[in-house]
Amino acid sequence: MSQPDSGNAMDPLRGRYGSISDAMKLIRQLFDGDKRKLKEYVDNVTTAFELVKPNEHDLLLKFDKTKITGEPRSKLLVKEITSTSCDVKQILEENYAVRRTLDYYACRMVTSRQGVSDSIASWSSRSWGKRHTEYVKMKKWLVLWGSLITSRNHVSCKG
């Protein structure tokens, strides 16, 4: 029996990685600071980095940064630490991720209206489902925190 030639042996990583130009096809859209598009942009960049060889990540990062324009680009230029895709992702998420506050959820719950074709069950689950759970958790936490602060103030006053 003959041994397979090492040059002809199947490389387990062969075909796993693509070229940088193929990876850049995943990052078609420019990111201009639109908060609604941040998650899609970050997901596409993450996938692109998974498709290229690790030793090509620095080069891909340079191409990736060219897809960031406007104010986000200025924020990256001001920051000194943008040498990895994780650094860039963190800066973008710090500045452009959508954050919801307790007031936002409370306002949404109070102003929610039942549509003409909505059943009571569908309206209530849409209006009060997950948001209500988050609101209740936050409210309990605030009440607990307030009681801790109050009891702490009473202890220090008695002292």
Domain residue spans of the chain: 20-96, 102-158
Kindly report whether the global pTM for this prediction surpasses the value 0.75: no
Query: What is the rounded CA–CA span in Å between residue 117 and residue 21?
Result: 49
Query: pLDDT grade, residue 114 (50/70/90)?
Result: confident
Cα–chain-centroid distance for residue 96? Answer: 9
Q: Is the pLDDT of residue 127 over 80?
A: no
Query: pLDDT grade, residue 58 (50/70/90)?
Result: very high
**Residue range 35-56: average pLDDT?**
93
- In the three-class reduction of DSSP (H, G, I as helix; E, B as strand; rest coil), residue 81 is classed as coil
pLDDT for 115 equals: 74
Find the range with the poorest average confidence among 52-66, 95-109, 119-133.
119-133
Query: What is the rounded CA–CA span in Å between residue 108 and residue 131?
Result: 9
Average pLDDT, the chain: 77
What residues have CB less than 8 Å from 26, skipping those under 6 apart? 44, 45, 47, 48, 51
Query: What is the rounded CA–CA span in Å between residue 142 and residue 19?
Result: 51
Query: pLDDT grade, residue 42 (50/70/90)?
Result: very high
User: Which residue in the block uniquely carries the two structure tokens 């609101």?
Assistant: 135
Is the CB of residue 52 less than 8 Å from the CB of residue 8?
no
Q: Is the pLDDT of residue 13 over 60?
A: no
Is the CB of residue 59 less than 8 Å from the CB of residue 20?
yes
What percentage of the chain reaches a pLDDT higher than 90? 36
Q: Is the pLDDT of residue 43 over 70?
A: yes
